[in-house]
Every structure is written in structure tokens, then in C-alpha cells.
Structure 1
Amino acid sequence: MHLIWENLMKNLILHWTGSFKGLNSGSESYEIPDTVWKAIGEATAKSGSTIPSAYGVHVPNIAADGVYMSAEMYSFWTLYLGPVLLHRRFTSECYYHHFIQLVRLLTICLQFEISSVEVEEVRVGFIKWVKEYERIYYQYSPERLPVCPLTIHALLHIAPSIKATGPVWCYWAFPMERYCGAIQPAIRSRRFPFASLARYVLEDARLTQIKVFYDKIDELSLQSVHKGLVRGAYPSCCLLPPKLPGPPAVSSLTPLIGALSTWFQKRVGVVRKSLEMAHIENWGKIQCIDSEAGDTMRASEARRAGDDHRDASYVRYEMLVDKHAQRRNVRSEFVPQTFFGQLQRIYLIRFDTPCPDLGLQEPTTLIMAQIRECKVGDKNIPGLDFHFYSTNGQIHVTDITSVQCVVGRVPCGKNEWCIIDRSGVLGHAFFLEDED
């Protein structure tokens, strides 16, 4: 971990700012002007308000004097902010592409699963990256030998280590350092610190065993657990306050009615009449509870957020789209397609009695999400899963299970944003074909 974030990235930034051990850029021109680097630092700090807190700590102004940057901050800046904020900041694109290649290799290393082909790509990629590093920064000059510390050579051992011991998340130091931070408050005696730690670890282990053995995890969590509103039809998510008082205005339900008309294949008038008999609520937040780290997504129109909030209203969602929608006489063929947009409203629709007009033979509960689409363009960063948009598209209303995760945004120009998604392949939906 420290090999990359606390050493390699620090050194690269020192190179770019002309502060590495008194060495200048030599025959190259990779240094970034002070005014540009200050702008990058300000953009880094500003992006915190548009990146959800689920993505980690707020990264401060990386260009400020005396700023504290932890390994987690360097990691997030390298993988998500750097590729966006460094674009077109160098005098030559070769330095930017060299950095992007590093990000690409690190992204592969951090995958939950990694194939033999990808391990070979990492091995060959780091060999190529180190050679390019020597050409750009070392420049084959003995006077510039300090730019080649041992940690540069250590990059060549990452692929063999993965092949021998598995993906790096299995043994990198992040979990251990977090555990050390968790047990540090247990030190009550300066004279006998290790006795305090040993007692805490023993008591914590005992409490954990009692929780598991007697199935009392919630009762013995020693903190209030807010489960929100969970519906049987949606075991993977729960609704959280705020809940808007009273039913939503009929004029605001036009997108919802249109979506349900398509879903149930009924006329708009039939759907509208059926909704008059349903109980409709407008909720402010929803949390995925299919894992301990489930994202919490906020509806943008539920309540006005404070000035210090971190926006968690932008999401990635997937829907089935007819690939022959523009051809009227061709039979529909639906394929999954990924979208990004801002979650505007969350509707809870409860039919307490059967609704034959919609084909519902028993009481039914629906949770629908109203999302304003972000029109993603063709611009991309080669090798990275980054998406850019500058305008919004149409409003989609879809079942809440189509919403996969919360995403962050980084401003990257006038009216242009880059969408960053940390979930990778683990957060995508799987559509099951109807047996009928």
C-alpha cells in the first residue's frame, strides 16, 4: 500500500511540481506551472461536495501548503480525481498517458477477481511503465539517480506476488491499519498499553462469539440500529426518512403513470384510475441492504441539503431497451443498457387490495425511482471506466431494483462533468428471461 500511495504518488507529484530533491525536469518538460497546480488543488477540494461520503474521506486541496494527505486520500485522488484533473494540464500528452497507464495497472491490481491474462498484462505493463519512467524522469543521467528509488524497482514484483499469493486486497495493509485505528482507543494505561490492548481484543472476541452463537447481533451491537421501512417484495433495500407529508400531487405523477402504463401494458387512463385507489408515498432516501456496505441514495427533490453536504443523488441504473426501437416493423428485442442520472423521487406505491385492472390478483407493493438521465457522450479515457456528460436527457421511471449504486461526479470544464463509478463489475444487474 505505502509503496504506491505514500511513496510513488508522492514522488510523481514532487516531479510535476519541480520539488523533487532539487532536480528540475532536465531535458523533459513534465513540470506543471504553479498556477495550474493550484487550480488542480482547488478543483480537488471542490469535488468533495459532488462525491458521496460512501466513496471515502473528503480529499483536501492537494496543492495547499502543509496539507495532510493519508494513503486513502492519495489512493482516491490517483484512481478517480487525477485522471480527470490532470487532463490537458501537461505541456505534452505523453506524460499524461504515462500516468493513465499507471492508473490502469493499479485498477487491475485492485480488482476483486483477477485472471491469469490480467496478471500477465500487469507484469508486462509495469515493465513498460518503469522503462518509460526511466526515460522521462531518470533520463539515463547519473546525476538524476535519486529519481530511481527502490520502490520503482518493487513495481516489477507486483505481478509475481499476485500470481503467488492472490489479489492484493488479500494482504495489503489497509485492513490492518484500520484495525489498529479501531483498537487504539482501547489503550487506557500508558504504563501497560499492551495489557489494555490484549484485554480489549479478548473482550471483543468474546462479545463477537456471543452475538454469533445466540444470534443477537442487533441486540448486542451497542448502538441504535435504524432499519427504515422494509417491504417483503424488496428484501435488498429499505426506505429511509425523510418522507414527504401527504400524497404527491397528481400533476407530478405524469412520468410515473407513463412508466406504469408501459410496464402493465395498459392505457394511461386505466393506470391513472388505478393509482387513485392506491396508497402513494414520496420518500427521501433508500439504502441497499444486500451487504453491510450498501449505498444510501438520496432523492434530490425530497429535502434541501445543507451547504456542507456530499451529493448522493446521482446513481447508475440499468434498464432493458429495445434495440430495434427505431424500426417499426421489426419485432422487439430487449437488451440491458447502463444509464447514469440524478435520482429525483422515490415512490412507494401500495395496493392494499387486488387491482384486476392492472392484472394484480393480490395486494402488491411497488417502489419506483424517478431519475433524470445524464446524456453520456462518446468522450472517454482509454482503459478506464470514466464517463462524461454536459447535458441532461429524459426522465426515466423504473423499478428501484434497476438502480445499482451511487456514483460521484467531478467537474472538468464549463458545464461538463465526469462520472466516476467505484463498483466495477460487482454492482451490475442481471436480467432473468421470462419463462413465458
Structure 2
Amino acid sequence: MHLLFENVVKNLVLLWTSSFKKLDEGTSEYEFLHGVWDAVGEATYQSGSTIPGAFGPRPPNVADDTIACIADSWCFWLLYIGPVVLYNRFRKQVYYNHFVKLSHLIHLCLQFEYSHNDIQKICTGFKEWVEEYEKLYYQYLPERLATCPLTIHALLHIADSIKWAAPVWACWAFPMERYCGHLQCCIKSRRYPFASIDNYVTASAQLSHIKIIYGLVNELNLKHPTCILLPPRRPSSTVTTFWRDKIILALATRFETSVQRARQFLHTADIQRWGKVRQLEGGDDMNASSLVTAAEDRRDATYVRYEMLVDRFAHSRKKKSSFVLTTFFGQLQELFVVSLPPIDELGLSDKTTLILAGIQRSEINKFHATGLFSSQKLGLSEVVDITCVQCLIGRIAAGAKGTVVLDRTGVLQWATYAPDT
């Protein structure tokens, strides 16, 4: 971890800001013009307002607050923020492209699983990146040998270390530090902190033993299997006609009935609005923008990634439906709990409760060659089942490009669709 985020990245920043071992830029033009790095630092800090707290601590100002810039914050900056805030900052595009290649390689290194092809890509990728680094910064001049410290050479051995030791997400971690961080939340007494820790560890161990010995893992899990809803809560009378019509469309699609029949069934249903939803099993806390008001010191946790099955031939009645799992981004504006009575026509023999999400979709475009997506405005609104909502996303302002979407989940955390056979 420290090889990249406390050495390589910091050395690149020192080179860009004319602070690397009293060296000038030689025959290249990689140094920022006056004020550019300060603007990058300010943009990094301001991005914290639109990046949810689930992503980690608020990003520090990388130009001014060097004490707060630890390995973890540099990692997040390299992977997500840097490719956005550095766009069009260099005098020559080649330096930006070189940085983005490093970001892509680190993304590849942090995968939970590797194929032989992935490891070969890492090996070849770092070899090409180091060769380009020597061309851009070392410039093959003996007096610039200081630009090639041992940490640059060490990049060539990352692929081998993955094969010999373990995936980097296992060896680039500090499990004891993480466990200590887990214990911090249980400290209830400043005067007797260790007593609080002892009681928490003991109680957790006892509960784990009871679950295992008596086979009560499911019985002691007292939560909803998918999510729980959190206040504020509002009654059915506060649901607007706009969103009521969207709920009717969602019910008609779900139960394969007409809009008119779905409207009749909704009259007998009870609808509640909720302000927050918490995904269980390590998921995110998401806010509905209509009920959770924005505040100057509150980080935006209303934008989400959601996935739905979309009929490729929806506009052609003559063709048989063919569904494709499609990813969307948008703002979570409403959370509805719809309680339906038993309805034989819909196949509901008992009272059924549905949790639905009202989302305004973002219109998405590609952002340069970074693999990221940008959005300039919000589009249509729709109501989907809460299980379609996958996770929170962050956003970074990107000037004329609108905002760039930050999705920190890897491909293993994306939903998959197994069609009926």
C-alpha cells in the first residue's frame, strides 16, 4: 500500500508542483502552471459534499492539508477523484493519460479475483507504465537519475508478488488497525474505556457461541432479510399525484395487469413514505431527497446505482420480449411502503408489503477515456422495487461535463441475471 500511495503518488505530485529534489522539468512540460494545484486541492475538498460518507472520510485538500493526506486518502484520490480533477489541468495531455493508466492498473490490482490474463495485464501494464515514466520524467539524462527511486522499480514486481504471496487487497491491509477501528464505536465511557471494550468483546463472543452451538443464526437475526427503513415517515395523504401514478405503473408491470386495474387496487392499499433505507449485510444508508433536507455540513447520500431488466424489443409488439440487465444511475427521491390486501386477481392470498423506490434517472455520457460516466442533467422519474437499488454513488463536479459518477463497487458486487431455461 505505502509503495504506491505514500511514495509513487506523492513523488508524482512533487514533480508536478516543482518540489521534487530541486529538479526542474528538463525538456518536458509536466509542471503545473501557477495556481493549478491549488485549484485541484480545492476541487478535491469540495467533492466531499457530493460523495457519501459510506465511501470513507471527507477527502482532504491535497494541496494544503498534507497532514490529513494518509495512504488511504491518497488511494481514494488516485482511484476516483484524481482522474476527474486533473482533467485538462496539464499543459500536455500525455501526462494526464499516463496518470490515468496508473489509476486503471491499481483498479485491476484491487480486484477480489484474478485470472491468469489479469495478472499478465498487470505485469505488462506496469512495465509499459515505468518505461513511459522514464521517458516523461527521467528523460534518459544522468543528472535526472533521482526521478527513478527504488519505488518505481518495485512496481515491476507487483504481479509476481500477487502470484507468490496473495492478492493485494489481502496484503495491502492492516487487519489489526481495522479491528481497533471496529472497537471504537463500543467505547461508551471516556473514564473507563477499557471496561467498555472488554464488555463488548465478551458479549460479541458469547452471542457468536450461542448462534453456533444452538443453531440459532437465523433466529437471532431479527432484521428484514434485505433492508430496514428509517425515519422520517409520512402518511399516505402526503403522496403526490405524480408519484401515485408512477406507483400504479410499477404495480401494473409487476403483476402484469392493466393500468386501470392497478389504479383500482391501489385505492385499497396503504402507502407510507420513508426518509431513509439501510441495506443489510454491509450495505449503504440511503436518503430520500424529498424528506431528508440538504445541509451545508451533510454529505449527499441520495444518488444511487440501480439495475433493471429492460426489454430490448419494447417498441416492437411483433417481437418476443428479450430482457437484458441494464445499469442506471439516478437520485433517490422517494421511498414508499405499499401494503396491499389479499387480491386473488393478482395472486395475493395474504397481505403483501412492497418497498418501492422513486428515482429520477441521470442521463449518462462517457467521461473522456477514464472508464467513468458523467451526467449533465436528470431525466425521467420511475418507481422500482427496492431490491433493484444496488448501492450509493458519489459525484464530482467536472465543469462543462456536468458531474462525474463515482461507483466504488467492483464487478463482483454487480447484480447478475440468470434467464429462465
The TM-score normalised by the length of structure 2 is: 0.89
Aligned-pair CA distance for 1:394: 0.9
CA contact 2:47–2:396 (8 Å) conserved in 1:
yes
Deviation track 1:178-212 (CA, whole Å, cap 9, x = no partner) reads 346678999xxxxxxxxx99x99998765553232
Rate the CA distance shift 1:114–1:96 in 2: closer, same or farther, 3 A.
same
Q: How does 1:119-134 map to 2 (within 5 A)?
A: 119-134=119-134
Deviation track 1:74-95 (CA, whole Å, cap 9, x = no partner) reads 0111000001111111111111
- The count of residues paired between Structure 1 and Structure 2 equals 406
**Aligned counterpart, 2:239:** 249
Deviation track 1:366-386 (CA, whole Å, cap 9, x = no partner) reads 11111100011244434x3x1
Q: How does 1:162-173 map to 2 (within 5 A)?
A: 162-173=162-173
Amino acid at match of 1:48: G
1:266 equivalenced with 2:257 (yes/no): yes
- Percent of aligned pairs with the same amino acid: 45
CA contact 2:374–2:401 (8 Å) conserved in 1:
no
Matches of 2:315 and 2:368, distance apart in 1: 26
Amino acid at match of 1:381: A
The TM-score normalised by the length of structure 1 is: 0.86
- Cα RMSD (Å) of the superposition? 2.6
Amino acid at match of 2:391: C
Amino acid at match of 2:373: H
Structure 1, unmatched stretches of 5+, are 187-195, 217-226
**Aligned counterpart, 2:352:** 364
Could you tell which deviates more after superposition, 110-119 or 205-214?
Answer: 205-214
Rate the CA distance shift 1:381–1:264 in 2: closer, same or farther, 3 A.
same
Q: How does 1:108-187 map to 2 (within 5 A)?
A: 108-179=108-179
Deviation track 1:343-394 (CA, whole Å, cap 9, x = no partner) reads 110110112x312343322211111111100011244434x3x111112221
Q: How does 1:34-433 map to 2 (within 5 A)?
A: 34-64=34-64, 67-179=67-179, 208-215=204-211, 231=224, 235-251=225-241, 252-289=243-280, 291=281, 293-351=282-340, 353-382=341-370, 384=371, 386-414=372-400, 416-433=402-419
Structure 2, unmatched stretches of 5+, are 187-192, 213-221
Could you tell which deviates more after superposition, 156-165 or 58-67?
Answer: 58-67
CA contact 2:236–2:270 (8 Å) conserved in 1:
no
Aligned-pair CA distance for 1:294: 1.2
Rate the CA distance shift 1:149–1:200 in 2: closer, same or farther, 3 A.
farther
Rate the CA distance shift 1:341–1:310 in 2: closer, same or farther, 3 A.
same
Secondary structure in 1 matching 2:130? helix
Aligned-pair CA distance for 1:303: 2.4
CA contact 2:367–2:401 (8 Å) conserved in 1:
no
CA contact 2:367–2:404 (8 Å) conserved in 1:
no
Amino acid at match of 1:70: I
Amino acid at match of 2:350: E
Matches of 1:268 and 1:283, distance apart in 2: 25
CA contact 1:342–1:374 (8 Å) conserved in 2:
yes
Could you tell which deviates more after superposition, 75-84 or 204-213?
Answer: 204-213
